[in-house]
């Protein structure tokens, strides 16, 4: 297991273990509330994971047993987010981690235990997959603060659960328990807390074992198909399919299959 270098904060932990990048939001005293320092450190970690070919998938999680990310650090609002101009500047600085997750080219998985609220729910929604423990709770408490959830955050949640469920949880600001989150499509799996990390490691090991070009192409293809047709890059899907057929990894995959051995992927 290799830890990343200086991220400018101890509120974010990052390490690589067997092809999996682990990013941990490390402020359990505040239920891992997302402040400026933590956001910037997490963005640096994601940039390092993106540049490292040994990293095939990334897991985001929260330190302790009480929260994934409980939302934005409201203690910073009075000084840094007291009006619309400050809010726009603050969002441009703290939202970098959300955007970095959303456009990350490798598979991302949110491992959630406890509170997953507000901006934390947006982080989870920005990931490709979400596994949570049975004691997890989800909410968007914007209506309790007289603010409007950011448009990009709202869209990511909307894509997962549709307009009716989205309006329900935002209008009411109520807490959604894990079983209901699974039924509405907000999470992929619900597991006993004691089994959560093992299940995540086993699942990500399968991803690491699969062809990275295929994973990247599938992720890009799905995200492209979710866009309005007018906004799609012309020919993109055909191009990424052709690139995979022309890759060294496709040749390796064929040979490994015929030779009944595990393939050795190069990512090219």
Write down the pLDDT at residue 83.
Answer: 54
Mean pLDDT of 243-249: 89
pLDDT tens profile 48-77 = 999 999 999 999 999 999 999 998 766 655
Do 33 and 70 meet the contact criterion of CB atoms below 8 Å apart?
A: yes
Do 224 and 237 meet the contact criterion of CB atoms below 8 Å apart?
A: yes
For the domain spanning 2-208, the CATH number is 3.90.226.10
Residue 92 has pLDDT above 80, yes or no: no
Write down the pLDDT at residue 249.
Answer: 85
pLDDT tens profile 117-175 = 999 999 999 999 999 999 999 999 999 988 888 999 999 999 999 999 999 999 999 99
Q: What is the pTM of this model?
A: 0.89
State the Cα–Cα distance between residues 11 and 216, nearest whole angstrom. 29
Pairing of strands 189-191, 129-133: parallel
| Residue 35: how many other CB atoms lie within 10 Å | 20
State the Cα–Cα distance between residues 36 and 38, nearest whole angstrom. 6
The beta strand positions in the chain, using DSSP E, are 2-3, 12-17, 20-25, 57-62, 67-69, 108-112, 115-117, 129-133, 137-139, 176-177, 189-191
Write down the pLDDT at residue 5.
Answer: 65
Write down the pLDDT at residue 237.
Answer: 86
Question: Where along the chain do its domains lie?
Answer: 2-208, 211-259
Do 108 and 127 meet the contact criterion of CB atoms below 8 Å apart?
A: yes
Residue 93 has pLDDT above 60, yes or no: no
């Amino acid at each position: 297991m290799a830890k990343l270098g200086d991220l400018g904060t101890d509120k974010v932990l990052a390490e690589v273990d067997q092809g999996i990048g682990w990013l941990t939001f490390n402020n359990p005293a505040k239920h891992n509330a997302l402040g400026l320092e933590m956001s910037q450190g997490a963005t640096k970690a994601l940039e390092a994971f993106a540049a490292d070919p040994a990293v095939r998938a990334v897991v985001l999680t929260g330190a302790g047993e009480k929260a994934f990310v409980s939302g934005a650090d409201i203690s910073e609002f009075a000084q840094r987010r007291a009006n619309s101009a400050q809010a726009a500047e603050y969002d441009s600085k703290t939202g970098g981690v959300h955007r970095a997750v959303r456009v990350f080219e490798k598979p991302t998985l949110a491992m959630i235990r406890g509170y997953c609220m507000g901006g934390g729910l947006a982080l989870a929604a920005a990931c490709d997959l979400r596994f949570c423990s049975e004691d997890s709770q989800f909410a968007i408490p914007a209506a309790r603060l007289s603010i409007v959830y950011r448009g990009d955050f709202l869209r990511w949640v909307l894509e997962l659960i549709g307009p009716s469920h989205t309006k329900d949880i935002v209008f009411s600001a109520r807490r959604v328990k894990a079983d209901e989150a699974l039924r509405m499509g907000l999470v992929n799996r619900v597991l006993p807390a004691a089994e959560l990390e093992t299940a995540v490691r086993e699942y990500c090991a399968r991803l690491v074992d699969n062809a990275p070009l295929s994973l990247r192409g599938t992720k890009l293809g799905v995200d492209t198909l979710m866009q309005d047709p007018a906004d799609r890059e012309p020919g993109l899907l055909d191009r990424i399919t052709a690139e995979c057929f022309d890759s060294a990894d496709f040749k390796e995959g064929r040979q490994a299959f015929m030779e009944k051995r595990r393939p050795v992927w190069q990512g090219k």
